Structure 1
Amino acid sequence: MEQPGGSAEHDAVVVGGGPVGLCFGVLLAQAGANVVVLEARPERAKHTRAIGIHPPGLRVLRRAGVADVLLAEGVQIAEGVARSHGAGRTREVARLCFDPPVLAVPQWQTEEALEARLAEIAPGALRRGVRAVRVEQADGGAVVHCADGEGTSTGFSGRWVVAADGARSPMRGALGAQHHVPTRSRALPDAYLMGDFADTTGDGALAVLHLEAAGIVESFPLPGGVRRWVAHVDEAVVDPSARDLARLLGERCGAEVDAASCSMLSAFTVTERLAAGMLAGRVVLAGDAAHEVSPIGGQGMTLGWLDAEAFAPLIAADALGGAPAGNGPAWPELWAAAERERLAAARLAARQARLNMALGRALPPRLMAARNAAFRALYRAPWVGGRTAARFTMQA
């Protein structure tokens, strides 16, 4: 066990105890690796945040042993519909079937399930209240230097370090000149207002897109009779209120939302950030630390789990296989192939997110009506709907 100012050997040190870091921890522990997961937050935040688990993500969670728990807690979205509201009536534009369904679960429940699984197979592996501040490469491994809430310095050394510490990633920023990974960032011209309210729509497990001239409105079911609403807005909202969002939803798509039932409210803009690589010496960048994409489309969390599926077996095999110590991994061609595949998937997800956002922007009423009519005709062809559903659910 680590002592202040000391260090201990691990096969892997995972920085970040969110859904991606916890998934890495579980997969590594299941493979027999000695893993520690460092999380700065002393307690888990009870915030819904990311809610969509796409079929490839559920596959990874099944390997992690938590899929059945989440399926029992969540809402399976097997169908989505696009509608337009105007002239006192609502018309259907298109309908999609998701097979397998998308699972909607609040992020805190997903983290709770992964944390319980990690505690089951590797008791004590999760260390809360430990803030990683820098990483130092060493011969055959790396050391993560941390500070606890009392300012005590602690070092965690491992053969591998997984940086799953979010889009701003202190670990990525602390790699140093020798292992610096170039990262391309760009702010996109989109802003959103999001809230969770009691569901009074009667849409049940249906996902709904309202294609309106003033901008798209999306709504998704959540457990417990709650529905998430996301509205594209003209500019960033500095001081959002549930009442303002409820009024916007009523004006734009005719939704009747009870502002008093709001359990989560958020306003956000969109930044896309893609790292040029995921491997830096003995550090693996994962999740948002490697590829931040727009939350519109809900692909970011699943991307991170797929990173874990790709890299956790390689980390475990390298650590447990007794490969000679050195700065690079054993079987470099396998690592390079995994990195190429994961970066390509991130670029594809980023393109899909940009398309989703472009389709959600405001248009003059006549152009919007014409576009919706074109969509209505196009989606009469079953193969178009099938292809679109596959893209939305990360299966194409």
Structure 2
Amino acid sequence: MIERARAGYLGILGTVVLGVAAVLGFYGRFVHPLPGLPWPLLLVPLGALLTAPLFPPSSWKGRLRLWKDPLTLGAYLLLAGLFFFLAFLLSLLGLDLLLRPPGLLGRLFFPLSLLAPLGRLLPAPPGDLLLALGLATAATLWGVVEAAWVRVVRVTLRSPRIPPGTERLRVVQISDLHLGLIHDLRFLHRLVRKIRLLKPDLLVSTGDLVDGSLEGQEDVADLIREIRPRLGALAVTGNHEFYAGLEEALAFHRRCGFRVLRNEAVRVGPLWVAGVDDPGGKYGPTAPRADEEGLLEGWGEGGRRPYVLFLKHRPVVRRGTLGRFDLMLSGHVHGGQVFPWNLLARSAYRYARGLKRLRGAGRGAFLYVSAGTGTWGPPVRLFAPPEVTVFDLFPAKRR
């Protein structure tokens, strides 16, 4: 049986490959004949590479390897390139249809016929195939660079619930690292070094720390454990912890130094930190639902309530929890990860990225949705840079 992470890859691979085949078939039939290349000789090695992630990793052993599984890395990069090629080719075909004289737009709406001269800037077939291929290659290479460059986002918050006289309390959030199938050890070394330089009082992970098999990942866990924040490290599960195997994922978290909050709350310095399990990819009336309202109640009302930090993987705020926490940290959305999905993320989640001040019953509270620290699938990001988020919490200023 193929584990869920690899089954997801298979679904995406099938969709992208079928899309590319359909568009190239249309192109060769109605736009321009495709060049007579020895397709079988090309497809066999490409097919062998693309199916590499479906098999158990072959090269994860050995602490000195930069990439844990180079074949899987190559397959994911090729998949990203195929996706970008499909997107750019469809865009060029669409522009060609709309802008070349007489121009479909010009026939529908005369003033837009003025755009028809722009059609001359488009390369004639099969030049558009080469342009799409070049753009896809550039986008993939840039995406690798962007995914490796983790920025630090800083947020300063003040609250009367932080006891007066408390010095700055620094909470550092990581999210959606997706360790397991592929990762760059050099990237992880840089990430750990960056977090240690931030000197966090508390480190939190808001889900999807792992993804896929964790075989041979002990060196990675030990590397993360080196961060050693002053007040400890807390985490919650994301959907991929369940996909990877919950017990194995929890053991990996413990080795990393995290305490996983599974529908529970703990006192950390002047804070109460609450965390809930992710539904684990199950939806509908039978999906497990944590009792968030019950977890967050009973800590006093008004000014008597302590500052509550709420960790939840998905950025979904239940109405019944409003007014019961001060800062909710989430992830899951990845900021869309790859253009144009970053533009569509808001259609799936009301709160898709960044800091949001809640209104109504939750007035005075904040939700922060991380763009994610790692990547899901290909180690590629496009116009959705990864981040480590620093929250500096202070008492309210005296008037």
TM category (shorter chain) comes to: under 0.3
Normalising by structure 2, what TM-score? Answer: 0.26
Task: Determine which structure has more spread, i.e. the larger CA radius of gyration.
Answer: 2
Normalising by structure 1, what TM-score? Answer: 0.26
